[in-house]
Amino acid sequence: MSLFAQGHTACGGCGMPIAVKLVLGGSGENSIVVSPTGCLEVTSTRYPQSAWGVPWIHSLFENAAAVASGIETALKVKGKKANVLVIGGDGATVDIGIRALSGMFERGHNVTYVCYDNEAYMNTGVQRSGSTPYGASATTSPAGKLSFGEDKPKKDTPAIAAAHGIPYVATASVGYPKDIVKKVKKAQEIVGPKYIQILAPCPTGWRFDGSKTIKLAKLAVETALFPVYEIENGEITKVKKIKERKPVEEYLKLQGRFKHLFKENKDQIEVIQKMADANAEKFGLDG
Amino acid sequence: MKLLPGGIVKPKTTVANKTGAWRTFIPIYDEDKCKKCGICETFCPEDCISVDENEFRHPDYDFCKGCGICAEECPADAIEMKYEEKE
Ligand SMILES: Cc1ncc(C[n+]2csc(CCOP(=O)(O)OP(=O)(O)O)c2C)c(N)n1
Ligand code: SF4
Ligand code: SF4
Ligand code: SF4
Ligand SMILES: [Mg+2]
């Protein structure tokens, strides 16, 4: 058994627990984890139970980075060493908790902040977040006669993190497990604030069969819609190259949240393809 | 139930939840086809697949939710999802 036990109540096929067990695999036993409110907290710590095999604390939805900063400072004062992590959802990270996160980056706390990105507020019923991709239908950006779904591009949170001048920023996907373990290990060796954003497909909110989670986690990368890279001290140092980039349709068509695009809004698929092309160009993904 | 200060609970206590009851389809592993690669184990969201002394993998049906990821990702086509008859 890993450091994240069985019996958690995430939906069958959820990408989030896959991300969590891999992150803990990289971080090891000597870790302290903070999680804000969200599917991870709700499904892993139904009182009086816990799935966690390491010390874990629930913060509020909006202040995980502040709680982690306090823990890291307390350890320093006490002369103790442990890997302090936050593992939180995209809503908690890119929207409501971004002020606390920015403060943590600014103050230079030695914390690894991991965002499992399922691209919406899943635990409260699939409301759009800043991380929801363009064209996706969420309950607060529903597709309909007057709307093709989310009309804003996915917020570039890794770039926001990097703009703070922190030493390490990375993206990853549960489709590539070794890459996650490697990046977490690397982050733990660097002193200072680290930010890792991991794409973790949500079968319930994205509306696909749970058996396809890994397939989609790979397709997001293979289409260049979710580029996988590392930024060290502000410079892009590594990208996951794509041998034969796939058209975005291959990714979109497997998910209910994009279904409407194949009926009334075909022109939006071209817009999304252009976004993928721009990612490929920006990060030099092809080859 | 005794309420501990600050809501402290014991680690890994979710193992009391036998989430196998959620299952509609059950993964059946075929050892003749298995290449012992461990991919099923790596991706299982329940982390409920163990390895025996011959490196064959076995899902723990007490926890397996029947998501089908292992069957979808197995490169040797050694796992079949079957409708599970229940009483
Ligand atoms: C201040 C505050 N506002 C709203 C909520 C309700 N709430 C609980 S979980 C959640 C969504 C979490 O979304 P995300 O961080 O993306 O995690 P996910 O559930 O998708 O894993 C919301 C809105 C809350 N707990 N606290
Ligand atoms: S709603 Fe989505 S993220 Fe939440 S537990 Fe279910 S599959 Fe996982
Ligand atoms: S993925 Fe398939 S081949 Fe690999 S260990 Fe599991 S059952 Fe065997
Ligand atoms: S069906 Fe899903 S939960 Fe069951 S063993 Fe396979 S991957 Fe694990
Ligand atoms: Mg989310």
- Give mean pLDDT, residues B47-76: 98
- For the stretch B28-48, pLDDT in tens is 999 999 999 999 999 999 999
- Give mean pLDDT, residues A26-42: 98
Are the C-beta atoms of residues A96 and A61 closer than 8 Å to each other? yes
Which residue is listed with tokens 């509609």? B24
Could you tell me how many residues make up chain B?
Answer: 87
- For the stretch A222-273, pLDDT in tens is 999 999 999 999 999 999 999 999 999 999 999 999 999 999 889 999 999 9
**Ligand 3 proximity of B29 Cβ (cutoff 6 Å):** yes
Which residue is listed with tokens 């949170």? A157
- Give mean pLDDT, residues B65-75: 98
Q: Is residue A4 part of a domain?
A: no
- Give mean pLDDT, residues A162-188: 98
Q: Is residue A5 part of a domain?
A: no
Total tally of structural domains belonging to chain A: 1
Are the C-beta atoms of residues A36 and A62 closer than 8 Å to each other? yes
- For the stretch A40-80, pLDDT in tens is 999 999 999 999 999 999 999 999 999 999 999 999 999 99
Q: Is residue A2 part of a domain?
A: no
Nearest CA to A217 among A200, A240, A204? A200
- Closest C-alpha residue for ligand 2 atom 5: A10
What is the 8-class DSSP label of residue A79? T
- From chain A residues 46-75, the ones with a CB under 8 A of any chain B CB are 46-54
B46 interaction partners in chain A (CB closer than 8 Å): 6, 8, 17
pLDDT of A1 over the 80 cut:
no
Q: Write out residues with Cβ below 6 Å of ligand 1.
A: A 37-40, 61-62, 89-92, 118, 121-124, 129
| CB-CB under 8 Å, B43 with A18 | yes
Q: Can you read off the two tokens belonging to residue A257?
A: 């949240």
Closest CB from B47, B62, B65 relative to A12: B65
Spatial separation of the C-alpha atoms in residues A70 and A72, rounded to whole Å: 5
Spatial separation of the C-alpha atoms in residues B49 and A140, rounded to whole Å: 38
- Give mean pLDDT, residues A128-136: 98
User: Taking the mean position of all CA atoms in its chain, how far away is CA A121?
Assistant: 12
User: Taking the mean position of all CA atoms in its chain, how far away is CA A175?
Assistant: 13
Give me the CATH number covering residue A55: 3.40.50.970
Whether omega before A48 lies within 30 degrees of 0, making that bond cis, reads yes
Q: Is residue A170 part of a domain?
A: yes
- A and B: number of Cβ contacts within 8 A: 105
Helix (H, G, I), strand (E, B) or coil at B87: coil
Query: What domains sit in chain B, N to C, each tagged with a CATH number?
Result: 18-83 (3.30.70.20)
Q: Is residue A36 part of a domain?
A: yes
Q: Is residue A56 part of a domain?
A: yes
Q: Is residue A268 part of a domain?
A: yes
| Residue B7 pLDDT class (50, 70, 90 cuts) | confident
- Give mean pLDDT, residues B53-81: 98
For A158-227, give the DSSP string: HHHHHTTT-SEEEEEETT-HHHHHHHHHHHHHS-S-EEEEEE---HHHHT--GGGHHHHHHHHHHTTSS-
Q: Residue A102: which domain range? A: 15-283
In one-letter notation, the amino acid at residue A59 is S
**Ligand 3 proximity of B69 Cβ (cutoff 6 Å):** no
Helix (H, G, I), strand (E, B) or coil at B7: helix
Residue A8 makes CB contacts below 8 A (sequence gap 6+) with A17, A43, A44, A51, B14, B17, B19, B46
Ligand nearest to the backbone CA of B67: 4
Q: Is residue A3 part of a domain?
A: no
Give this prediction's pTM.
Answer: 0.98
| Residue B86 pLDDT class (50, 70, 90 cuts) | confident
In b/e form, how buried is each residue of A48-82, taking b as 16+ CB within 10 angstroms? ebbbbbbebbbbebbbbbbbbbebbeeeeeeeeeb
Give the nearest chain A residue to B47 (CA atoms).
A6
